Amino acid sequence: MPDEFTPDAEDGLRDRVTVTRREAIKLTALAGAAIATAHLGTLAAGSPRPAPAPSRTANASMPVAADMAPQRMAVALQINGKAHSMTLDTRTTLLDTLRESLGLTGTKKGCDHGQCGACTVLIDGRRANACLALAVMLDGTEITTIEGLSKGDQLHPMQQAFLTHDGFQCGYCTPGQICSSVGMLSEAAAGMPSHVTSDLSLKQVTLSDDEIRERMSGNLCRCSAYPNIVNAIREVSKATPGVQS
């Protein structure tokens, strides 16, 4: 064979080795069938079959490995001015602790993914979604729920404003709306800007309707009572020190 192909020799070699697409598919199928047949023949001859994967259902009674067992931790929570000492699974959210362990069911479970705001509470005065906060991480913090805003029979001004302006219909999102609006007014009083604040150099925020809507956008009302909610917040903002409305 020559060291270098001439054009004529290369064309002749291509003609001899060319395989059509249909022939390639046929050859591949035949090869796969041959391999499968050989494998079945080996199994029939007595080769051991691979062990099946363990079933979780079948092994439900098996002991859990130590490193996978639920971990529990002692925690001291300060909720609505009262101390609560308890031992919790480290995976327990603040929302489930409030509702299931302490019976504070005013805080609602909506989406349970931090998207609707129904579970909003105040943690050290800052609003937060209780469904996204682990209870054991809040040891020593001051937590305020909707039950802790009023003083006995005396409603918080925001609670009264929601009643006055009919800022709710079904009421499911209302506790979160109220807690969020209380925290929002504190943020505005501290001069914290929002996405729609036009001048970031100002130390005092003017709470326009657009500011209120933007700052409350994390709290959804499926009944669409938004105009009345804005009116309720506006009324309270006029009496909040440091807030310009």
- Could you tell me the strand order of the sheet in which 142-144 lies? 82-89, 72-79, 142-144, 120-123, 126-129
What is the rounded distance in angstroms from the CA atom of residue 70 to the CA atom of residue 72? 7
Residues of the chain below pLDDT 70 = 1-19, 39-67
SS3 86: strand
Q: What is the pLDDT of residue 64?
A: 56
Q: Which residues pair with 73 in a beta bridge?
A: 88
Helix axes 226-237 and 174-189, enclosed angle (nearest 10) = 40
Q: Whole-angstrom Cα distance, residue 164 to residue 157?
A: 10
Number of H helices, E strands in the chain: 7, 5
Residues 9-47: tens digit of each pLDDT: 555 555 555 667 777 787 788 877 778 777 666 656 665
In sequence order, what E strands does the chain have? 72-79, 82-89, 120-123, 126-129, 142-144
Instruction: For the chain, report the end-to-end CA distance as a whole number of angstroms.
Output: 95
Q: Residue 223's pLDDT is what?
A: 96
Separation of alpha carbons 236 and 12, rounded Å: 93
For the chain, state the CA radius of gyration.
34
Phi, psi (rounded to 5 degrees) for 228: -70, -35
Angle at the Cα of 132 from the Cα atoms of 68 and 82, rounded to 5 degrees: 100
pLDDT of residue 20: 75
pLDDT value for 28: 83
Could you tell me the domains of the chain?
71-148 (3.10.20.30), 150-245 (1.10.150.120)
**Rounded to whole angstroms, how far apart are CA atoms 143 and 168?**
24
